[in-house]
Amino acid sequence: MGEKVPLCVPNLGPEELRSVKEVLDSGWLAHGPKNEELESRFADYIGCRHAISLNSCTSALYLGIRALGITGEIILPSFTFVASANAVVTAGAVPVFADIDYDTCNIDPDSIEERISSRTEAIMPVHFAGQSCDMERIMEIANRKGLAVIEDSAEAIGACWSGRKTGSFGVGCFSFFPTKNMTTGEGGMLTTEDPGLAEKVRTLANHGIPKTTMERAGQKLPWKRAAVQAGYNFRMCHLLAALGTVQLSKLDQMNALRRERAADLNGRLSGASLDLPIAHARAFHTYQTYTVKAKRVAIRDAFVLGLRRRGIEASVHFDPPVHLQPFYSGSAHNVLPITEQVSRCIMSLPLFPGLTSRQADAIAAAVHETEAELKDL
């Protein structure tokens, strides 16, 4: 076994420790000033008017659907983490799965058009592995058909389409899980231009109470709180927001390093029998995950296992796709040939901002050794 290389390592340093200590020293651990700072700066970064910090991207997706009042069909890719579809179902809407483009693994606008019916109310593009979907075509379809757009940008913080950041086209939903381009451990964000929608989301996330504890602290009777609807506890705590403020300040630098590491891996793996990641000419790719595709589908699982035996923590995103998972196997439009092809041949290799040349050497060596081992299968 060669050098062990993990799939992902969060980029954390003394700045994050100082920010968290500042919150600990303040004694205010629930939603607080760092949340407001993170929300304001994140909205500016994405290019929208409002950002609401939450406990996960799944909560953001769910609240976006609820706040928009959607109960009909939402078109989304099956090639995604199951949370995308779960948010649709638990919010009371109906998922309709569309196929994807082989090169980018993003939802195919032609497949969206084919699935629009009188019951369709929204499109949920899922930006895969750090690359934006074709938002020009998706927005043209949505505007022409009068559909809402809820962007699952969990994997695409800082990614752009024609210079415009994901999460600024429709209702944006982001994840700060440790594998993402910036992290708060657990956490998420919802972005929107609509002040009314933002207020609905804030209220739903805070037990149905319009004002947070911090906002009530300046009132004469701060203990007075009254719910205007049934809500949830989907808030992000102050400690996690403290992490987020520092991570956001480092995000562009971390994304630049991801792009450099991806380009380096592309060069090292150019001779392998793999389809390497393709960046669309109009997309600014931030490489949340570095994915490759085995040209021979039959050896994919053996390839991943071979890499893992050699110390390379390779994985697969996503197999099975959502429409083939037991709960969703009866969903409409389950003929998705490209989705099923990609799910059988794709694999994820380690990539993170701190990936070293020595680790990249180990990845390339393991790929070539595994390929040689499997050549006769």
Domains of the chain by residue range: 14-249, 251-373
Question: b/e for 128-150, b at 16 or more Cβ within 10 A?
Answer: bbbbbbbbeebbebbeeeebbbb
Burial class (CB in 10 A: 0-12, 13-18, 19+), 195: exposed
Q: What is the mean pLDDT of residues 153-178?
A: 98
Q: Can the peptide bond before residue 320 be classed as cis, meaning omega within 30 degrees of 0?
A: yes
Residue where the block lists tokens 């609240």:
63
Fold category of 251-373 in CATH: Aspartate Aminotransferase, domain 1 (3.90.1150)
Q: Is the model's pLDDT at 224 over the cut of 90?
A: no
pLDDT-derived band at 333 (thresholds 50, 70, 90) equals: low
Q: Is the pLDDT of residue 216 over 60?
A: no
Residue pLDDT, tens place only, 122-141: 999 999 999 999 999 999 99
Least confident of 72-81, 222-231, 278-287, 302-311: 222-231
Work out whether strand 164-165 and strand 171-175 pair parallel, antiparallel, or are unpaired. Answer: unpaired
Does the annotation count 295 as an active-site position?
A: no
**pLDDT for residue 217:** 62
> Model-level pTM?
0.96
In 39-98, DSSP assigns E strands to: 50-54, 73-77, 94-98
Q: What strands lie across the sheet with 283-284, from one edge to the other? A: 164-165, 160-161, 283-284
What is residue 191's DSSP assignment?
Answer: E
Return the CATH number of 14-249, one of 3.40.640.10, 3.40.50.1100, 2.30.30.60, 3.40.50.970.
3.40.640.10
Choose the catalytic residue: 180, 200, 250, 293: 180
Predicted confidence band at 215 (pLDDT cuts at 50, 70, 90)?
A: low
Q: What are phi and psi of 96, to 5 degrees?
A: -125, 120
